[in-house]
Amino acid sequence: VMEPAIRFAARGFKASGYLSETVVQVKDVISRFPETASTYMPGGIALRPGELVDRSDYALTLQAIAEQGSDYLYNGPLGEIVCDYLGRNGGIITLQDLEAYKTIRRNPVKAEYRGYELFAPPPPSAAGIHIAEMLNIVEEFEVAKMGFGTADSIHLLLESMKKAFADRNRYTGDPDYVEVPVDRLIAKHHVEEFIDNLDMDKASPEIDPGSNEPDHTTHITVADLDGNIVAATQTINELFGSKVTVPGTGVLLNNTQQMFDPHPGHALSVQPGKRVTSSMSPVIVMREGLPEFAVGLPGGVRIFTSVFQAIVNLIDHEMSVQEAVEAPRVWTQGQEVELETGISELVMDQVAEKGHRVMPVNAIGGGMSIVRFEPGGLLSGASCWRADGHAVGIGGGFARSGVRFRPSVGEKDPPTVMSENIVAKTEDGDLA
């Protein structure tokens, strides 16, 4: 599993334009950390597109993890190196903290939308609950008849997002520390009062912002024809995380703790051992027991609202996967609303007339990837322009047992049909 990453890290890889631009964006901060700067700003200059990125230290670390497993970090040499480095630089993480960390397997949030079943991450992730909540709202409206990208359809999406963020700010956190009423929040009746009071001609009052989640994440969606699906999202939070690379390891440390609320008494209040709430939203959608599509993307607090829109695009607007990932997006968490510039000025004006504070932006969220199971057994995939990403299909596989390029070699009885075809062509003069 890790071999390709080890290989690319060992031999280096060419910096993309996107990577170069992100380094330039945070170069003033990276320059304060020599180990990180040596990789991404060699000679004090930000990586240029096409320049080789040297990750040889990281290759050795990945190789050790591949051989020794997670113990290499949580109970072994890498953990000791990380904790020693942090301790000498004012950090507070200890080996005991690493040893105490355990992966928890939780059941996904399951929801239904127009005959489809959705499976999404449970708390402490905010994805499953609030994607289901927003879909429950729009399910009560004829979204397809509204049309994609109209003022009414955008207004409905924005109002649904406001409701989701209001509930997220109030309820969602680490279920080991706070009670998260999952079943109540994803129930259809939970949004009935909201729907009854929703004014399609007027924006609802703004709500307080509740999350300081940065926009930078990584996602991959993989599927095969047997219906096996992996939709995985991971993050070190901001661009290049904390900007701190542990010398000799190539390991870039995260800065995810900044997403906690420093004030006590809230769902996101910081506590020892608590897991932070995130918006990471790998989602698998099925219909009648069979996989339909899987979707995910990077983008901080804009992730789960973007997945929500992609689901509506695929199901209600019957878009192709490429159309769904590239379609203009909208976003709000309860204050001003962001509308991608792919939306016309006329529609933006109409949305503003409903009382929304409109802010045109170049992009919302990151590069989405979708894999879809099409009729007839075809798999289709798509990525979009908002970040580096590619849809790749791999065909073929291992040869069937007993098959050879030249079946007559070493075999007494070569395939009869092949012999007959050759003879027939010869008799017809085709091969004469």
Strands, DSSP E only, in 125-260? 218-223, 229-234, 245-246, 251-252
- Distances in Å between the alpha carbon of 210 and those of 123, 171, 266, 334? 16, 11, 10, 9
Nearest of 134, 158, 156 to residue 147 by alpha carbon: 156
Q: How far apart are CA 32 and CA 21, in angstroms?
A: 18
Q: How many CB atoms lie within 10 A of CB 216?
A: 19
Helices (H), 198-344: 303-315, 321-326
Nearest of 305, 297, 295, 315 to residue 370 by alpha carbon: 295
Amino acid at residue number 92 = I
- The per-residue b/e assignment along 75-103, b for 16 or more CB within 10 angstroms, e otherwise, is ebebbebbbebbeeeeeeeebeebeeeee
Residues noted as catalytic: 217
Q: Which tokens is 159 given?
A: 């109002």
Q: How many CB atoms lie within 10 A of CB 184?
A: 12
Q: How many CB atoms lie within 10 A of CB 431?
A: 10
Nearest of 251, 256, 212 to residue 234 by alpha carbon: 256
Here the contacts of 182-188 (C-beta below 8 Å, separation 24 or greater) are: 182/109, 182/122, 182/123, 182/128, 182/129, 185/129, 185/130, 185/132, 185/133, 186/109, 186/111, 186/128, 186/129, 186/132, 186/133, 186/136, 187/136, 188/136, 188/139
Residue 134 contacts residue 308 (beta carbons within 8 Å): yes
* Burial (CB count within 10 angstroms: exposed 0-12, middle 13-18, buried 19+), residue 53: middle
* Cα 199 → chain centroid: 32
- The alpha carbon dihedral of 418, 421, 425, 426 has a sign of positive
Q: Which tokens is 198 given?
A: 């929703």
